[in-house]
């Protein structure tokens, strides 16, 4: 019985060693659990952002983080922080614009904006806008109230 146990133990150890070193045993490649992301020209990743019908693509993303906060200290809300490398751009996939039915002219207008810190102007996010280079004075994307996407720079 001892001999049988010793032989069985040796066989298990040998097979384990072969499996670890890959000698003579074909193993399946590990499966990927996350969707692949593409690398942006320059550095960082290209990340998609969606809130309702607003769909954006941001380049040169170093990392993303989901956070929660209180609007005016009472109303909870969720937002995303994208840490960016220099040269990051915002591309509009779908802007979720108002159809203009509530205005006299009937012209569609932006529901979402890129905020500018330090007294800059808000930039409307529209379906037909060209890619926008994100600068250090742009705080993020908002509609009414707090930002839903915050830009932070990689240190």
Residue 24 lies in a domain: no
Within-domain flag for 93: yes
Each residue's pLDDT tens digit, 30-41: 333 334 445 445
pTM exceeds 0.85 for this model: no
In a domain? residue 39: no
For residue 65, tell me if it sits in a domain: yes
What is the model's pLDDT at position 49?
A: 97
The answer to whether position 51 is within a domain reads: yes
Q: Report pLDDT digits (tens) over 4-19.
A: 434 333 443 343 433 4
In a domain, 121, yes or no: yes
DSSP state of 126: -
- Residue 63 included in any domain: yes
pLDDT category of residue 48 using cuts at 50, 70 and 90: very high
């Amino acid at each position: 019985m001892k001999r049988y146990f010793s032989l069985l133990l040796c066989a298990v150890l040998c097979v384990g060693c072969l499996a670890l070193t890959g000698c003579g045993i074909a193993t399946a490649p590990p499966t990927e659990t996350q969707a692949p992301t593409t690398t942006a020209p320059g550095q960082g990743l290209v990340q998609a952002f969606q809130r309702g019908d607003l769909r954006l693509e941001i380049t040169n993303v170093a990392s993303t983080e989901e956070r929660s906060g209180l609007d005016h200290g009472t109303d909870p809300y969720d937002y995303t922080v994208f840490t960016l490398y220099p040269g990051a751009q915002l591309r509009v996939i779908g802007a979720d614009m108002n159809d203009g039915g509530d205005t006299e002219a009937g012209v569609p207008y932006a529901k979402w904006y890129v905020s500018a810190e330090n007294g800059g102007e808000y930039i409307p996010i529209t379906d037909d806008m060209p890619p926008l280079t994100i600068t250090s004075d742009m705080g993020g994307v908002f509609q009414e109230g707090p930002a839903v996407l915050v830009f932070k720079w990689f240190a």
